[in-house]
Chains A and B, each alone.
Chain A
Amino acid sequence: MSPDPAATAPAAQRGQGVIHNIGYRGYEGPRLGRSYARRALFTQSLRGAYGLGRSAKSKVLPMLLFAVVALPAAIVVAVAVATKADDLPVGYAEYVLMLQPVIGIYLAAVAPQAISLDLRFKTTPLYFSRPIERSDYVAAKHAALSAAVFLFTAVPVLILYVGSLLAKLDFGDQTTGFLQGLVFCALFALLHAGIAGYIAALTPRRGFGIAAVIVVLTVPFFLISALQGIPLSDGDSSSTLVGWLGLGSPGTLMDGIQSKFLGGTSGFPTGATLTNAQGISYLVVFVLLAAGAYALLLRRYRKAGL
Chain B
Amino acid sequence: MAGSRGRSRLWITSVSPLRTAAPTGLSTLRGTAKPPHRLTRTGQCGTSVGDVTVIATESLSKRYPRVTALDQLTVGITPGVTGLVGANGAGKSTLIKILLGLSPATEGTASVLGMDVSTQGGAIRESVGYMPEHDCLPPDVSATEFVVHMARMSGLPATAARERTADTLRHVGLYEERYRPMGGYSTGMKQRVKLAQALVHDPRLVLLDEPTNGLDPVGRDEMLGLIRRVYTDFGISVLVTSHLLGELERTSDHVVVIDGGKLLRSSSTADFTQQTAVLAVEVTDTEAHPDGTKALRTALDRAGLSLRAAGTDGTPAPGAGHLLTVDIADADDGAVYDTVRDAAAELGLGLVRMEQRRHQISEVFTEGSGSDVA
A contact residues vs B (CB 8 Å cutoff): 1-2, 4, 6, 11, 14, 16, 19-20, 22-27, 29-34, 36-37, 40-41, 44, 53-55, 58, 117-118, 121-123, 125-133, 305-306
Contacts and interface: CB of A to CB of B under 8 A. Distances in A.
Nearest to A133: B122
A51 to B, nearest CB: 11
A204 to B, nearest CB: 12
A128 B233 contact: no
Contacts of A26: 43-44, 202, 234-235
B96 A130 contact: no
A306 B170 contact: no
A127 B197 CA distance: 11
Contacts of A34: 122, 155
Given A129-B102, A129-B130, A27 B97 contact: no
B235 A27 contact: no
Given A25-B167, A55-B181, A130-B154, 10 more contacts: A20-B171, A26-B43, A26-B234, A29-B156, A36-B152, A40-B152, A129-B100, A130-B150, A131-B123, A133-B122
Interface in B183-207: 197, 201-202
Contacts of A20: 171, 229, 233
A58 B140 contact: yes
Interface in B252-267: none
A36 B155 contact: yes
Contact of A27 (B43, B122, B130, B160): B160
Nearest to A9: B175
Given A6-B170, A117-B138, A14 B125 contact: no
A131 B154 contact: yes
B164 A23 contact: no
Contact of A29 (B102, B157, B166): B157
Contacts of B153: 37, 40-41, 126-127, 130, 132
A122 B134 contact: yes
Interface string B77-113: 0000000000000000100110010110000000000
B218 to A, nearest CB: 13
A131 B233 contact: no
Interface string B208-219: 000000000000
Number of chain B interface residues as a range = 35 or more
B137 A123 contact: yes
Contacts of A4: 166, 170
Contact of B136 (A6, A22, A126): A126
Contacts of A126: 130, 132, 136, 150, 153, 197
Contacts of A16: 173
A16 B135 CA distance: 26
B139 A31 contact: no
A127 B151 CA distance: 10
A276 to B, nearest CB: 48
Nearest to B171: A24
A32 B157 CA distance: 7
22 contacts: A1-B162, A26-B44, A27-B202, A30-B155, A32-B157, A36-B152, A36-B157, A44-B152, A117-B138, A121-B139, A122-B136, A123-B136, A125-B136, A129-B128, A130-B125, A131-B122, A131-B125, A305-B103, A306-B93, A306-B97, A306-B100, A306-B130
B154 A37 contact: yes
Nearest to A128: B102
Contacts of B145: 53
A26 B46 CA distance: 13
A163 to B, nearest CB: 38
Nearest to A54: B140
A196 B44 CA distance: 47
A177 B202 CA distance: 53
B29 interface: no
B310 interface: no
A300 B160 CA distance: 33
Contacts of B160: 27, 29
B191 to A, nearest CB: 14
Contact of A122 (B43, B93, B135, B229): B135
Contacts of B126: 31, 33, 130-131
Contacts of B135: 121-122
A275 B128 CA distance: 58
Contacts of A131: 122-123, 125-126, 154-155
B141 interface: yes
B100 A2 contact: no
B322 interface: no
Given A121-B137, A125-B136, A23 B93 contact: no
Contacts of A133: 122
A31 B155 contact: yes
A166 B140 CA distance: 43
A22 B137 CA distance: 27
A33 B155 contact: yes
A34 B152 CA distance: 10
Contacts of B43: 24, 26
Contacts of B136: 121-123, 125-126
B223 to A, nearest CB: 14
Nearest to B46: A28
B271 interface: no
